[in-house]
Amino acid sequence: MANANLIQPDLDFVKELTVEGGGGESLKKCFQCATCSVVCNVTHTDRPFPRKEMVWAQWGLKDKLLGDPDVWLCHQCSDCTAYCPRGAKPGEVLGAIRKISIQNNSWPSAIGKLVASPSGLIPLLMVPIFIFGAVILGLGRLNHLEGPIVYEKLVPIPAVDAIFMTAALFAALSFFTGIKKFWKAMLDATGRESVRGSVVPAIIAALSEIIAHKRFDKCEVTSARASAHKLVFWGFAGLAVTTTWALVYLYGFHLESPYSLINPMKWLAFASMCSLLYGIYKVVSNRKDNAEKAGEGSYFDWLFIWLVVLVGATGAMSWGIRLLGIAPLAYLTYFTHLVLVFSLFAYAPFSKMAHMVYRTTAMVFAHHVDMEK
Amino acid sequence: MEKKIGVYICEGCDIGENLDMAKLQEIATKEYKVPVVKTHRAFCSSDGVDLIKKDIQEDGVNTIVVAACSHRIFYDVFDFGADTITERVNLREQVVWSHPVPKEAESSGESSGGGEEGEAATGVDEDTQMLAEDYIRMGIVKVQKKETPVPYQSEDEFVNNIMVIGGGFTGMTAALEAAETGYPVTIVERQKELGGFAKKIRQQLPMKTPFNTLEEPTIQGLIDKVSNHDNITIKTNIEIARISGAPGQFLVSFKEPGSKTEWDVPPKLEEGEEACGTTDAKDASGDAVEPAADQVNCADILSVDPDAEKFGAVVVAAGWRPYEPSEEEFKHLGLGKFKNVVTNVQFEEMAAKGRIEAKSVAFIQSPGRESDDSDFPYCSSVTSLVSLKQAQYVTRDNPGGKAYVFYQHMRTPGLYENFYKAAQQNDAVFLTKGAVTSVGASGDDDQLLVSVDNTLLGESIKVSVDMVVLATGMVPSTQFEPVINLAYRQGPEFKDLELFSGYCDSNFICFPYETRRTGIYAAGCVRQTMTMAECVEDATGAALKAIQCLESSNRGMAVHPRSGDVSYPEFFFQRCTQCKRCTEECPFGALDDDEKGTPKPNITRCRRCGTCMGACPERIVSFKDYSIDMIGSMVKAIEVPEEDEEKYRVLCLVCENDAYPAIDMAGMKGLKYSADVRFIQVRCLGSVNVVWIADALASGFDGVMLIGCRYGDDYQCHFTKGSELCNRRMDNVGETLQRLALESERVQQIQLSIDEYDKIPEEINKFMEVIDSVGFNPMKGF
């Protein structure tokens, strides 16, 4: 075991972080004073982060970081960034590491590269545009749009569902391989073959933590972020319930949309939409307010945020414009909405959306390791 | 000069209210028959000064005693020119502000404020009054004994040129700085060409703000400037055989490097080694020291080389040499075992020659393994900075190259932090604190495996590298040889080098450039490891000091620390017993005794501390304004109360550099202490002659305190050795006390620095308790 601790810094990994736009431009400024680990409220105390992650990143120890649950336990409160005496912005650096981690774990990795770079945006959007465009043109739907605005006329609901089901399946498959890879990396990093016992208690612990935003609430410098995130989170949850509800109506009771405005499903949809829109507005405004202390955030972050904003906005507009009866604009908005929703879900494993999966996995792993003791 | 004394007692600053002014005047008029005695409510006012000036002009007063505040205040106000002798008696800080005055004295003092003399103040504290009276007496006696010093004149001509030893970066900078101000300078360099180590490097550390980028070497520009300067003469391939003489008149004999000449300086003669022998037989049975064969022909230090060149002052910029590790020293780091383990100096030379081939290099700062976090011997911030510099070479020469820096201490002081930040910004430089435990073969090719424990990465690590560079230190040249080769009786080299690991000695806080040899100023890495930017500052400072020396020596003035003092020690040789104590004890080697042992004073080497005066058992050394007789008479002027008065008297000799100002400060802060103590200021405790102590005790003083600077390894003495020598002389006092059948506790030396004024009452009271426990001096009244 002479070379057991042989360290081989991955210079490309360092450059990937520190390159302009990499998100970790400030990484090398760290001089290891550990102020970050001291001010962090969400770190555990036995091997606190993010000090150790900073030196690992400086040394290009990619494997260690990709198998490190702490990278994901970080909620980017930015307390560390605000207090860092050297301007090394540990919060930003960990965010950049998470981006690389997402790209590295997700499959196929080519899509990951496209999501991470501004030049990949057009090709990515072309995919849903092409699919939905093909359906619309193929079925000749553009010629049957007269009369009251019914979105079913543009794209048949079963087609929408089929496309989204496929996208969701693809995302789920990609997530599954990603989680598997991440789990293995975490096992390797801690020198384990597998975890002992059932992970169910750890999953329950992690989920209850997530639902209540227990960790997020500990942030200080960017304390408003937790409530904004809650609104977005519950908005998405509500919309998920609405979607399920709609599926039940359609396939269970064969009720066709649009539904009446007094239908409670509409109320839930409306409430969720408001929550999502106001939440994401707060996310954006918080980020602007905190930029000086917490950093500007990367393209990767903003891509996700704007996607959510636009999904929410086009969703709301599709509804509003339909009620106003402006047909061409309504259909165009609806089409955009479909494209964006597709992007949100199909590319979720490669975008920042993936944080919900990886952070949850990391929390489960961390809880499980704690419970093993 | 016929002295006409005038005593001026000030009433201001609480003095008039708390002392019986009439009685104080009587001391002068009745006891000492002083013709002019006056009081004024504030002599420091223009009224007061005019009063004194009027007496000088109209009444012929030429010897003035101002009894008011400390002489450390208003020295310019009470400066009446070189034709008068002026002495200050400290009635404010050391009498009324530091001693108890009864409450009623204040009120009665106020009511009698308008009244002039004759109105005896009631309620004056008896002891405080006695103290003031004694100080008046001492002040009058002091001016009676004082003479106006006449600056030292030499028959030999003083010259104003400067010799700079060392033609490296610092030496050339010093030469240029001095030459630019118009002084002729000669650079002496042992190598065949100028430049020193600065010429062997690829790039130099930042020299200008913001101190964050490596710079191309500037040495050639400096060489060109120096070579073409009208005021600079360059001597290369030459060595100093000896420097004899004194500041303003140094005589330097040169020789070819490595050769032996008649004018090589002989080594210091040890006791028992001398031709004429001494009465000291301590080492008589000791091993006969055989004089080295090649030294036998050296001319004695007092012989004069007719071919010697004359210089006024010397700047030593002899620089440093790379630390040479012994074969076994860093075996665990593979030095000597693997050809790709090198020192930082070797690496720099490789880098200067061409591209660094090694793609990965480990820079090791500390060899101590886990047991010890010390860096390499003679390491400093410079070696830290050099490692950061050399790490850049690796990554610039090799795209994809990696440089690891393992340190226990990363020292980048001041603005060099910017350089650290810039170096750290390099993606391919990997820094961590850690204990390097070993460097071994990696197995494949010439790769080396560096093992490091306790790293910031949270574990022990190993890295595989092409090359290992050890950040070995920079050893001052004075560690290897005297460099200056002084033909001084105390020996050719700087003193006490071992206290400073061979670095050229200096009191680095107060007087960084002054060595213990007046006229010889150290600069650059010979004095302290430093970067080139720091060397510039250092070289300039030393050059200015050398100029100050030239312009003081030729005026008969002391250079430092009593800058401008024109008094100097005079020897009454008829009574000299050739005991050589003065020659040996002089902290600055100012005296060279001849073959008989008679001291030859070299006045321009002297710093006027009076250590020779303190050392001389025959008391033949004196200054015009500071002598055995003067202080002795002041001691005698103090009235020692009879035994039945039940009052103690303690003499306290205080150093003027730290202790006296500290006592003044205690007074300013209103700290109170016993009124039984009488302070006498001395130039240095080194100047304290045992006879004063013996006389004081014989005349009934109950104790003697000596307050001086800290001595030992971290000495603070302005004259380096004064307080230490004084302490050693206390052994002799012990014998005196035994002879007088007195307790040894009656004499004590206290070490005090200027910021410890708050300890004054405590120290004095402690001593008074000791005196109280041994009781009154039984010699009283004899």
Digit-coded pLDDT (tens) for B564-587: 999 999 999 999 999 999 999 999
Domains of chain B, start order: 1-148 (3.40.50), 162-277+297-321+477-553 (3.50.50.60), 331-472 (3.50.50.60), 570-622 (3.30.70.20), 626-782 (3.40.50)
Closest CA to A238 of A312, A169, A167, A138: A312
> Looking at the structure, do residues A63 and A209 belong to the same domain, yes or no?
no
A60 CB neighbours in chain B (<8 A) are 430
- DSSP 8-state class, residue A42: S
What is the distance of C-alpha B14 from the center of its chain? 38
pTM: 0.86
In whole angstroms, how far apart are CA B34 and each of A63, B27, B70?
Answer: 95, 9, 22
Average pLDDT over residues B691-712: 92
Residue A55 has its nearest CB partner, among B425, B432, B463, at B432
Question: Looking at residue A23, what is its pLDDT?
Answer: 87
Tell me, yes or no, whether A153 lies in a domain.
yes
What is the distance of C-alpha B6 from the center of its chain? 37
> Looking at the structure, do residues A348 and A307 belong to the same domain, yes or no?
yes
Strands B63-68 and B5-10, how do they pair? parallel
Say how many C-beta atoms besides its own lie within 10 A of residue B353's C-beta. Answer: 10
The SS3 of residue B335 is strand
Residue B425 has its nearest CB partner, among A6, A7, A28, at A28
The reply to whether B424 touches chain A by the CB within 8 Å rule is yes
Name the domain boundary from A73, A90, A105.
A105
Residue carrying the six token digits 């030999």: B156
Q: How many domains does chain A divide into?
A: 2
> Looking at the structure, do residues A114 and A94 belong to the same domain, yes or no?
no
> Looking at the structure, do residues A74 and A157 belong to the same domain, yes or no?
no
Write down the mean pLDDT value for chain B: 90
> In a mutagenesis test of the B interface, which of A1, A3, A5 is the best target, namely the one with the most B β-carbons within 10 Å?
A5
Cβ partners under 8 Å of residue A47, min gap 6: A70, B458
Question: Looking at residue B781, what is its pLDDT?
Answer: 65
Selected residue with higher pLDDT from A256 and B742 = B742
Average pLDDT over residues B377-387: 95
Sign of CA dihedral B211, B213, B214, B218: negative
What is the number of CB-based contacts under 8 A between chain A and chain B?
Answer: 55
Residue carrying the six token digits 């307080």: B723
The reply to whether B431 touches chain A by the CB within 8 Å rule is yes
Strands B429-433 and B402-407, how do they pair? parallel
The SS3 of residue B77 is coil
Question: Looking at residue A142, what is its pLDDT?
Answer: 85
Tell me, yes or no, whether A157 lies in a domain.
yes
Tell me, yes or no, whether A3 lies in a domain.
no
Closest-CA distance of chain A to residue B360, Å: 11
Residue of chain A whose Cα is closest to the Cα of B433: A32
Tell me, yes or no, whether A6 lies in a domain.
no
Token pair listed for B715: 């000495």
Residue of chain B whose Cα is closest to the Cα of A15: B427
Name the domain boundary from A54, A75, A105.
A105
Average pLDDT over residues B283-300: 53
* DSSP codes joined into one string, A115-156: HHSGGGHHHHHHHHHHHHHHHHHHTTGGGG--SS--GGGTS-
Tell me, yes or no, whether A34 lies in a domain.
yes
Closest-CA distance of chain A to residue B217, Å: 28
Average pLDDT over residues B671-681: 95
Question: Looking at residue B115, what is its pLDDT?
Answer: 41
Q: Does A18 contact B427 at a Cβ distance shorter than 8 Å?
A: yes
B359-B360-B364 Cα angle (round to 5): 145
Average pLDDT over residues B295-307: 82
Lowest mean pLDDT among B266-275, B610-619, B728-737: B266-275
The reply to whether A33 touches chain B by the CB within 8 Å rule is no
> Looking at the structure, do residues A101 and A231 belong to the same domain, yes or no?
no
CA distance B585 to B693: 19
The reply to whether A221 touches chain B by the CB within 8 Å rule is no
> Looking at the structure, do residues A157 and A306 belong to the same domain, yes or no?
yes
Q: Does A7 contact B462 at a Cβ distance shorter than 8 Å?
A: yes
CA distance B141 to A129: 112
The SS3 of residue B522 is strand
> Looking at the structure, do residues A75 and A139 belong to the same domain, yes or no?
no
Sheet holding B5-10, edge to edge: B36-40, B5-10, B63-68, B85-90
Closest CA to A344 of A128, A179, A135: A128
Tell me, yes or no, whether A246 lies in a domain.
yes
Tell me, yes or no, whether A348 lies in a domain.
yes
CB B99 within 8 A of CB B675: yes
CB B269 within 8 A of CB B302: no
> Looking at the structure, do residues A335 and A356 belong to the same domain, yes or no?
yes
pLDDT band of B273, cuts 50, 70, 90 = low
Strands B570-571 and B621-622, how do they pair? antiparallel
> Looking at the structure, do residues A206 and A87 belong to the same domain, yes or no?
no
Selected residue with higher pLDDT from B121 and A318 = A318
pLDDT over 60 at B723, yes or no: yes
B382-B386-B391 Cα angle (round to 5): 155
pLDDT band of B289, cuts 50, 70, 90 = very low
pLDDT over 80 at B287, yes or no: no
Domain that holds residue A51: 11-105
Q: CATH number of the domain that A51 lies in?
A: 1.10.1060.10
Token pair listed for A167: 């996208």
Question: Looking at residue A254, what is its pLDDT?
Answer: 84
> Looking at the structure, do residues A89 and A160 belong to the same domain, yes or no?
no
Low-confidence ranges of chain A (pLDDT < 70): 1-4
Q: What is the pLDDT of residues B485-507, one digit of tens each?
A: 999 999 999 988 888 889 987 66
Average pLDDT over residues B84-102: 90
| Strand intervals (E) in B373-447 | 402-407, 429-433, 435-441
pLDDT band of B327, cuts 50, 70, 90 = confident
The reply to whether B422 touches chain A by the CB within 8 Å rule is no
Average pLDDT over residues B373-392: 95
Tell me, yes or no, whether A5 lies in a domain.
no
CB B709 within 8 A of CB B753: yes
Lowest mean pLDDT among A137-146, A252-261, B61-70, B606-615: A252-261
Residue A59 has its nearest CB partner, among B449, B457, B464, at B457
pLDDT over 60 at B118, yes or no: no
Name the domain boundary from A105, A137, A169.
A105
> Looking at the structure, do residues A238 and A365 belong to the same domain, yes or no?
yes
Residue B421 has its nearest CB partner, among A8, A11, A29, at A29
B457 CB neighbours in chain A (<8 A) are 7, 52, 55-56, 59, 61
Average pLDDT over residues B167-179: 97
Closest CA to B426 of A97, A29, A298: A29
Closest-CA distance of chain B to residue A84, Å: 15
Closest-CA distance of chain A to residue B429, Å: 8
Q: Does B457 contact A55 at a Cβ distance shorter than 8 Å?
A: yes
- Phi-psi category of residue B483: left, alpha or beta, with phi > 0 → left and psi -120 to 50 → alpha: left
Question: Looking at residue B782, what is its pLDDT?
Answer: 61
Closest-CA distance of chain B to residue A58, Å: 7
The reply to whether A9 touches chain B by the CB within 8 Å rule is yes
Closest-CA distance of chain B to residue A7, Å: 5
CA distance B68 to B92: 6
> Looking at the structure, do residues A190 and A165 belong to the same domain, yes or no?
yes
B400 CB neighbours in chain A (<8 A) are 11
pLDDT over 70 at B114, yes or no: no
pLDDT band of B372, cuts 50, 70, 90 = confident
